[in-house]
Structure 1
Amino acid sequence: MASNKAVMALVVVALILGAGYWFSAREDGERAGQANASLDQGFVQGTPTPSEAVPRMVSASIPAEPPDVFRRYQCPPETGNCERNPNVAATPKEAQWLLAHGYPTVKQIQDLRMRSTADYREEYQRTGSKVVQSLYAMSLALDGEARTAIGLLWQGAAQGNVYAFHLLSDLYRRTEELANLITSAAYLRAAYLAGDSRAADRYAYQFGMLSPPENLLADKEAFRLFTTYGRGRNYPRP
Structure 2
Amino acid sequence: MTTKKSTREPNRKARLAGVVAIVMLAAGCSKPIDDRAIEVPKQAAPAVKKEANATASVQAKASPESEWLAADLAYRCVGAACAFEMLGARNKEEADWLRANGYPSSEQLKHFKGLSDDQLRREADAGDLAAMVSFGQRMAAAGDTKTGTQYVHDAIRNGSIYGYYGMSSIFQNTPGLEDMIDSAAYLRVAYILGDTKASVEMHRRYPDLGRIDQVNIDERAMSLYRTMAKSGQPNPRP
SS in 2 for 1:183: helix
2-structure distance, mates of 1:229, 1:177: 22
Aligned residue number for residue 170 of structure 2: 171
Aligned residue number for residue 188 of structure 2: 189
Tell me the CA shift for residue 88 of structure 1.
1.2
Comparing 93-102 with 148-157, greater Cα deviation is found at 148-157
Aligned residue number for residue 206 of structure 1: 205
**Paired residue type of 1:113:** K
Higher-Rg structure is: 2
1-structure distance, mates of 2:146, 2:186: 15
Aligned residue number for residue 90 of structure 2: 90
2-structure distance, mates of 1:201, 1:185: 11
Aligned residue number for residue 71 of structure 2: 69
Tell me the CA shift for residue 166 of structure 1.
0.6
Q: Does the 8 Å contact 2:141/2:174 carry over to 1?
A: no
Aligned residue number for residue 137 of structure 1: 136
Tell me the CA shift for residue 138 of structure 1.
3.1
SS in 2 for 1:177: coil
In structure 1, list runs of 5 or more residues that go unmatched.
1-65
Comparing 144-153 with 210-219, greater Cα deviation is found at 144-153
Aligned pairs, number: 170
2-structure distance, mates of 1:74, 1:229: 30
Residues 138-157 of structure 1 correspond to what in structure 2 (within 5 A)? 138-157=137-156
Q: Does the 8 Å contact 1:155/1:229 carry over to 2?
A: no
2-structure distance, mates of 1:178, 1:143: 13
**Paired residue type of 1:73:** Y
TM-score (structure 2 length as normaliser) = 0.65
SS in 1 for 2:153: helix
Tell me the CA shift for residue 112 of structure 1.
2.4
Partner deviation per Cα, 1:136-178 (whole Å, 9 max, x = no partner): 2233234432332112212222221000101111111111211
Tell me the CA shift for residue 76 of structure 1.
9.2
Consecutive aligned runs of 4 or more in structure 1 exceeding 3 Å deviation? 80-83, 141-144
1-structure distance, mates of 2:204, 2:113: 28
Which structure shows the higher helix fraction? 2
TM-score (structure 1 length as normaliser) = 0.65
Aligned residue number for residue 28 of structure 1: none
Q: Does the 8 Å contact 1:112/1:139 carry over to 2?
A: no
1-structure distance, mates of 2:222, 2:81: 31
1-structure distance, mates of 2:182, 2:142: 22
Task: State yes or no: 1:220 paired with 2:222.
Answer: no
2-structure distance, mates of 1:223, 1:164: 17
Q: Does the 8 Å contact 2:188/2:202 carry over to 1?
A: yes
